[in-house]
Structure 1
């Protein structure tokens, strides 16, 4: 379990993007898309826009 304090911002972003990508793949595999999941996807895409 990584300690977020030890992470710099870039590492933290990579760690979270990995988790979110994993989560999205898991959802797509099962075709589960509720409004909550869409909100997560939307937030993630906004986050990507800010960092790029």
Structure 2
């Protein structure tokens, strides 16, 4: 393995991903995918409500 490949391999980081279904007034329900963010329901709802203030998350 050469030095460049070793550097790239050491920079690989495990990422977390979570899918949530968003229900927002005026929109059809749609998925929201969060990478490296809140993984629990309360965190996802708080994150989504920064964009869609009256939405629900499931």
TM-score of the alignment, normalized to the shorter chain, above 0.5: no
Say which one has the larger Rg. Answer: 2
Q: From the two aligned structures, give the one with the greater helix fraction.
A: 1
Q: Which structure is higher in RCO with an 8 Å CA cutoff and minimum separation 6?
A: 2
TM-score (norm 2): 0.27
